[in-house]
Structure 1
């Protein structure tokens, strides 16, 4: 049975598509989009009764929450993206939770008021406030990358993928990275990976 991923690339499901493609895990895409009620099936609601994407069905195991899914896939399939010891696992958990608590809300607020909302509903003040609020966590990320190219050291891992996926709209919505050259270099490397580009199509290569 193939891994089934519920969602579309223009949602948080992008993170799971990217992870599966990085790891070479075959998957089936089930497009679920809140604006198309007909795409919300009983099978999807069984996988995530919260009616949010992504969710997966992996040989009968259902999971939701993008960070949990990606950490699960890393643990199950191993390889270079997976933590190699308890310390790395702790750091991968730390950075994944940090991305959700420190980056996501303001990144989404910025995206909404600079790109996603209709022009007349956008509030430049809210966008600027979100951009300003992101400067503190970006400084934390800059410090973490001061002496190493990736969050766990010398190799790209699930920790990098999870954090970079949250910041994947950075250039589109003009998050100010001017004071954070290490972050900009790291984000360019992460989003420049072939699997990151392929994930925007929401299907296996």
Structure 2
């Protein structure tokens, strides 16, 4: 059975979403950060970076959430990778953009607003992050004008990988009302049964 290490509320969440979309049976293996489970020798043998997620599929072990999602799609549901070479390239493009450009300011602001006590928050960093997020949301909104999904006419890994970042915007006080195409797309994909299942897992 496939095992996924890391809570659904972490960057492992996009992997849970992919697993649910594919319909695979899997075991969620708890990683207790307070007990430093991710820094113990047995965990570091799987991921020397000491981070989540880690996927174990039989004897194969893989870390990095994006790599995990592309592996799962390639092996178990290639339809998530697009209908042709151009769509596959666009899915890769938006996934890499989501990780390299979009995620950092959102996660940095999220950490400050959710995990750091209010009196200790770096307000300058938060302001810088929020300033960076606005044009990135504009890029995404313009791309989604007239589209149902990120790439082509079908739901794909691009939707999972980008929406798993975009859904944090309301939690850090970013109003998406000015980006109606982005807002409608995000609502649409987060209402999918697989996404709703992951949302329930995040509450545990």
Q: Same fold (TM over 0.5)?
A: yes
Q: As a proportion of its length, which structure holds more helix?
A: 2
Structure 2 residue 125 is matched with structure 1 residue 96: no
The number of aligned residues is 202
> Could you tell me which residue of structure 1 aligns to residue 8 of structure 2?
9
Of stretches 51-60 and 171-180 in structure 1, the one that deviates more from structure 2 is 171-180
2 CA distance for matches of 1:46 and 1:202? 26
Describe the SS at the equivalent of 2:145: coil
Unaligned runs of 5+ in 2: none
1:35 positional shift: 2.4
1:202–1:47 distance in 2 versus 1, CA, 3 Å? farther
1:42 positional shift: 4.2
Pairwise CA RMSD? 1.9
1:197–1:42 distance in 2 versus 1, CA, 3 Å? farther
> Could you tell me which residue of structure 1 aligns to residue 54 of structure 2?
55
Describe the SS at the equivalent of 2:62: strand
Of stretches 101-110 and 190-199 in structure 1, the one that deviates more from structure 2 is 190-199
- 1:1-205 alignment runs, 5 A limit: 2-38=1-37, 42-78=41-77, 80-202=79-201
1 CA distance for matches of 2:196 and 2:147? 24
**TM-score after normalising by structure 1:** 0.90
Describe the SS at the equivalent of 2:186: helix
2 CA distance for matches of 1:142 and 1:129? 21
1:39 positional shift: 6.1
1:38 positional shift: 4.1
Q: Deviations over 1:7-31 (max 9, x none)?
A: 0122101111111011101111111
1 CA distance for matches of 2:39 and 2:46? 11
Unaligned runs of 5+ in 1: none
Describe the SS at the equivalent of 1:4: strand
